[in-house]
Each structure stands twice: as C-alpha cells, then as structure tokens.
RNA sequence: AGAGGAGUGGCAGAGCGGUCGAAUGCGGCGGUCUUGAAAACCGUUGAACCGCAAGGUUCCGGGGGUUCGAAUCCCUCCUCCUCUGCCA
C-alpha cells in the first residue's frame, strides 16, 4: 500500500509509474484518494476540536461536583449530552472516510522503479543475461512427466487418489531428491548470512493483509473457514510478517531470514497443456529468502539476492536466464522484480524458478515495519524477497537435462545430500 | 475441550470511575563529578493522526457498550498461566 503522503507530494511520479504498469484509470483513482483524504483530514480536525471541548467540559463537571455546585454541574451535563450526538455522527463519518481511503489505496499497485521497462506482458520483459549451455538431448529424450513414471519417483495418480490434482507423491529417490535440494538450499542461504526459520504454514488474516495477498488475491489461497486461517502461498507471508508492527533497532539491521515451507496455491483456472507435470502444482516446496533493509541499501541487497540465486543455479549446472520484468508483468506489490528461468531441455521451454523483488515501502507501510534512525526519526524499512529456490521446476529441469541412457545424473553438488549419483 | 486466574510503556510493576499517557524501579540517552571508568547525583526517555507552530485528538490485548467523564464498570473475541481431560 502506498502512503497517501507520497501520492499527495509526488503525484506526477506516481502517475508516471502507474502508466508504466499499464494500469488503467490511475488518474481518477489518485484524484479520488486525494479528495477523500482531504475530507478525512478536515473531518478529523473538526472532530478533534469537538472532542477537546467535550474533554474540557467533562473535567469542568468533575470540578463542579467536587466543589458541590450540583446545579451548575447538572446544567452543563445536559448541554454536553446534546453535543454528544453530533460528535457520534461525525465519528462514524471519520471511520467511514478512513476506511474508504484505505480501500482505495489497496487498489493502487506499487510504483515501479525507474529501471523497470514499460510493457504489457511477458513478451516485454527485458533479458538481462543468459548463462550456461543448453544441452542437446537425444531425440528419444523424455519430458519429466514421462521420466518420473519411468523411474517411479513422483506419482500423480497416487496424489489424485489421496488429495486431488496437483498434489504429487514423491517416492524413493524422488523424495530423497526433494529433501536433498531443501537442505542444499538452506545450507547455501546460511552461508550467505541468512538465519534459518521454520514458520507456520497457516496464517491469519492480518498477515495476509500485511504482505499484500489480501484483499485482492483471496482466491489464490486455501482458506480454513472454521478458524479463519489461510494456507500460505509462499514463506514470504509468515517470514515477512514476523516483523509486522515492529520498530526494529538500527543495529539489528539488516534482517536476513531464510525458510523452507511447503507452499499452497489454488491456481484457479490456470491449467492447460503447458502446465503439465511439475510445471504447476497446488502444493510445492520452496526455500525463500527475505531481507529487511534500510531504504538506501535495498537495491544493493536486491543485487546480492540475485547473485545468491544465480550461484545456486550455477552450482546445480542448470542453464538459466535472468529477466527484468516489465511494468505490466510485475507483481502488484513489487517495485522491481527479476525472474530467473531455467531451460528444461526436453520440453524446450524456459521455466520460472525464482522471482526476486524489492517492495520498497509498499509492504512495510501496511506492516507498520519501521526503524528509528540516528536522528531518532522513525522511518519505514524496505522489504525484499526471493525464491532460493522453488523445487518442482528445478527437479523438472534436472530430470530432463541430465537424462542419459543409464539414468538421470545428479549434479555433483547434490550428491553429498542425496547420497546417490543417479536415478536409475 | 472444561474450570479458575491474568493481560498496563523496552522490561518489571502500581493504579481499579475525574486532576492518568499513566506512580515507582530497571534499562536507554544526555549531563555533573573524574585523567578515564564505575558509583553517586541531575535531567531526559512510547506511538499514530491533524496543525507552519502553539497545541489538539487517539491508543493501558482487539472490538463493542454504560457514563458528562473509562486503564478502572459491563459484554464479546483473542492470547497467556494454573488445574482437569485428550493427544503426536
């Protein structure tokens, strides 16, 4: 959520940014917000004055009673009672206005960073770099959804039986490969100075609002009606919300946390031929890295996070490319996002395996996540996160790219974790 | 899950209808003293919103109510503690 003050003071910059996102009707929305907020301020000012008077009167009544001037006290009491009605109405008005402003603010996406190219969709993303060599496979090479059957390591039919579509069962070496990847990713994150955390995988409504999944992405999350809890779509939600409503000490910065969790996504209506096998699931595993930074350091941190993610892909010997997302393809909350895509050689497709974003103050404003700087001024922090990494598509790429007639070769960096060198 | 108790500032803890944003202690910050430090002493020390400022409003777990006036009374929800039950 943007700060009203920013919209008011930097209206042009905000509008320009929203245009880059191809965000329709920005001007009207922004004007409406400013108008409503002015009304809010005006109402609050009047209300505050009335309350000040009411407080003074109440004190006076107290004094009169104490000095036993009951008649005077009663007269004043009657007068005050009338004013109270008007105050009550105005209070309701203020609450309404505050709610309206917030609800309007929820509709405004983050302002993209200057570097973000304008664009409508994936085709306008900017390729920053490409790394590694794309393997040339034998014509008999199989896509991963065939390989998992051939080696009996991931079972969609069993998942269908016990849960439903998009909930695979990992078996034998398939399960061990998952566990190996998780441990490898966590160990690498630790080397980069991240503290490992294990958060709950269900969160309350306030957390959903804190990181921006609510109110608009409600349909993407599984919801437990009876307890008002949401299954997390990413560890970003619980890990970032660790710092909701907090004023952190400057000396505790930067905050770097990493965690493994399963992630749950309803993914309503997005199934099709191009999302076969492991490409898109309702439940998948992911290690997430989250940083909380002073504003002036956040873009350096973003680069640092990308470098970390890239080093993982390099160690896994996977060919990948790095994209700078355009305004139209970027997430609602983000100011700048890099995607990492690996090449799955049998599908002959690039698969997104990581998304690394700087949210600047968009989340921290909602989270009320701040720190006190040296001058004693309280300031919003910047939040950042990235997948490091999402497992299923990494597994897909490893399976496809490393297939040989003798089985699937495990990248050497993973062998100490899997304790086998091939799936066969 | 049932019965009882409790939630107050960074922490501990008083207040239990008016003068309370809240005593006191600890911690933090600044100062005096000192070559320096400790001790002692003095001062200072929550947040949000409105306002150029002076100042005002709100916040004592969340929400609602009673009252001219609520940290204090009532209702409700949440959390924690104790006992009982259940359970990996």
A303 Cβ within 7 A of any nucleic strand B atom: no
CA distance A48 to A55: 10
- CA/C1' separation A269–B39 (Å): 72
CA distance A290 to A383: 7
**Nucleotide whose C1' lies closest to the alpha carbon of residue A61:** B68
Q: Give chain B positions with protein CB within 7 A.
A: 18-19, 47-51, 55-58, 68-69
A70 Cβ within 7 A of any nucleic strand B atom: no
What does pTM read for this prediction?
0.93
Q: What distances in angstroms separate CA A342 from CA A148, A314, A339, one per listed residue?
A: 19, 11, 10
CA distance A209 to A215: 7
**Nucleotide whose C1' lies closest to the alpha carbon of residue A78:** B68
Positive or negative, the CA dihedral A17, A20, A23, A24 is positive
Domains of chain A (ranges; CATH) run 4-106 (1.10.287), 122-423 (3.30.930.10)
Interval A203-250: pLDDT, tens: 999 999 999 998 888 888 999 888 889 999 999 999 999 999 888 888
ipTM score for this prediction: 0.86
Protein residue nearest nucleotide B51, by CA to C1': A45
Q: H/E element holding A28?
A: helix A26-66
Residue with tokens 């402003």: A101
DSSP A109: P
Q: What is the pLDDT of residue A242?
A: 92
Q: What is the pLDDT of residue A82?
A: 79
**Nucleotide whose C1' lies closest to the alpha carbon of residue A59:** B18
- Interior/surface letters A232-271, b for 16+ CB within 10 angstroms, e for the rest: bbbbbbbbbbbbbebebeeeeebbbbbbbbebbbbeeeee
Paired strand residues for A356: A338, A386
The closest of A242, A231, A221, A353 to A287, measured between CA atoms, is A353
**Nucleotide whose C1' lies closest to the alpha carbon of residue A44:** B50
Cβ neighbours for A369, distance < 8 A, ≥ 6 positions apart: A243, A244, A245, A246, A248, A292, A363, A380, A381, A383
A52 Cβ within 7 A of any nucleic strand B atom: yes
Strands A403-404 and A320-324: what pairing?
A: unpaired
A39 Cβ within 7 A of any nucleic strand B atom: no
Long-range contacts formed by A111-114: CB under 8 A, 24+ apart: A111/A2, A111/A13, A111/A14, A111/A17, A111/A18, A111/A335, A112/A17, A112/A20, A112/A21, A112/A327, A112/A330, A112/A334, A112/A335, A112/A336, A113/A299, A113/A335, A113/A336, A113/A358, A113/A360
User: pLDDT by residue for chain A (424 residues), tens digit each?
Assistant: 999 999 999 999 999 999 999 998 899 999 999 999 999 999 999 999 999 999 999 888 888 887 878 888 888 888 887 788 888 889 889 999 999 999 999 999 999 999 999 999 999 999 999 999 999 999 999 999 999 999 999 999 999 999 999 999 999 999 999 999 999 999 999 999 999 999 999 999 999 999 999 888 888 899 988 888 999 999 999 999 999 988 888 888 899 999 999 999 997 555 565 678 999 999 999 999 999 999 999 999 999 999 999 999 999 999 999 999 999 999 999 999 999 999 999 999 999 999 999 999 999 999 999 998 777 788 999 999 999 999 999 999 999 999 999 999 999 999 999 999 999 9
The closest of A318, A315, A311 to A413, measured between CA atoms, is A315
DSSP reduced 3-state for A313: helix
**Nucleotide whose C1' lies closest to the alpha carbon of residue A204:** B78
Token reading at A85: 């009605």
**Are the beta carbons of A58 and A76 closer than 8 angstroms?**
no
Token reading at A103: 């609800």
A86 Cβ within 7 A of any nucleic strand B atom: no
Positive or negative, the CA dihedral A234, A239, A242, A246 is negative
- CA/C1' separation A227–B86 (Å): 20
- Residue-wise DSSP of A401-421: HTEETTEEEPPGGGHHHHS-S
A81 Cβ within 7 A of any nucleic strand B atom: yes
**Are the beta carbons of A109 and A30 closer than 8 angstroms?**
no
Q: What is the pLDDT of residue A377?
A: 84
Q: What is the pLDDT of residue A75?
A: 84
Interval A323-350: pLDDT, tens: 999 999 999 999 999 999 999 999 999 9
Interval A50-72: pLDDT, tens: 999 999 998 888 888 878 788 88
Q: What is the pLDDT of residue A269?
A: 54
A88 Cβ within 7 A of any nucleic strand B atom: no
The closest of A305, A314, A287 to A182, measured between CA atoms, is A287
- Beta strand segments in A57-162, E: 126-131, 154-155
Q: Which of residues 229-268 of A touch strand B (CB under 7 A)?
A: 247
**Are the beta carbons of A231 and A264 closer than 8 angstroms?**
yes
CA distance A208 to A237: 7
CA distance A335 to A359: 5
Q: What is the pLDDT of residue A45?
A: 92
- CA/C1' separation A84–B9 (Å): 31
**Nucleotide whose C1' lies closest to the alpha carbon of residue A54:** B68
Cβ neighbours for A346, distance < 8 A, ≥ 6 positions apart: A137, A141, A142, A143, A144, A147, A400, A401, A403
**Nucleotide whose C1' lies closest to the alpha carbon of residue A73:** B68
- CA/C1' separation A252–B41 (Å): 33
The angle at the Cα of A102, spanning A242 to A111, to the nearest 5 degrees, equals 75
- CA/C1' separation A245–B39 (Å): 39
């Amino acid at each position: 959520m943007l700060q009203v003050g920013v919209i008011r003071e930097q209206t042009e910059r905000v509008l320009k940014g929203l245009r880059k996102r191809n965000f329709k009707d920005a001007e009207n929305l922004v004007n409406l917000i400013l108008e409503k907020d002015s009304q809010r301020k005006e109402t609050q000012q009047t209300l505050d004055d009335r309350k000040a008077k009411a407080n003074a009167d109440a004190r006076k009544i107290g004094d009169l009673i104490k000095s036993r001037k009951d008649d005077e006290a009663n007269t004043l009491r009657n007068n005050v009672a009338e004013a109270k009605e008007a105050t009550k109405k105005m209070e309701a008005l203020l609450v309404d206005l505050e709610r309206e402003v917030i609800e309007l603010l929820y509709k405004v996406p983050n302002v993209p960073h200057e570097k973000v190219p304008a664009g409508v969709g994936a085709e306008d993303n900017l390729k920053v770099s490409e790394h590694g060599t794309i393997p040339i496979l034998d014509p008999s090479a199989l896509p991963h959804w065939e390989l998992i059957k051939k080696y009996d390591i991931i079972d969609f039919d069993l998942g269908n039986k016990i849960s439903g579509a998009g909930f695979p069962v990992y078996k034998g070496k398939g399960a061990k490969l998952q566990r190996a990847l998780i441990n490898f990713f966590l160990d690498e994150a630790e080397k980069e100075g991240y503290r490992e955390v294990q958060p709950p995988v269900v969160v309350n409504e306030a957390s959903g609002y804190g990181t921006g999944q609510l109110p608009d992405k409600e349909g993407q999350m599984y919801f437990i009606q009876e307890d008002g809890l949401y299954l997390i779509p990413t560890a970003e939600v619980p890990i970032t919300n660790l710092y909701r409503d907090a004023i952190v000490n400057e000396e505790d910065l930067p905050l770097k946390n990493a965690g493994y969790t399963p992630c749950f996504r309803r993914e309503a209506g997005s199934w099709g031929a191009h999302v076969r096998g492991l490409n898109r699931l309702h439940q998948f595993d992911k290690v997430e890295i989250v940083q909380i930074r002073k504003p002036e350091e956040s873009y350096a941190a973003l680069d640092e996070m990308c470098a970390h993610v890239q080093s993982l892909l390099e160690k896994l010997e996977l060919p990948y490319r790095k994209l700078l997302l355009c305004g139209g393809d970027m997430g609602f909350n983000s100011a700048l996002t890099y995607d990492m895509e690996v090449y799955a050689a049998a599908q002959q497709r690039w698969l997104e395996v990581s998304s690394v974003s700087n949210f600047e103050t968009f989340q921290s404003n909602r989270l009320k996540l701040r720190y006190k700087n040296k001058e004693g001024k309280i300031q919003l922090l910047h939040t950042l996160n990235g997948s490091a990494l999402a497992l299923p598509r990494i597994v897909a790429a490893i399976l496809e790219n490393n297939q040989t007639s003798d089985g699937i070769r495990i990248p050497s960096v993973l062998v100490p974790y899997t304790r086998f060198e091939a799936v066969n």
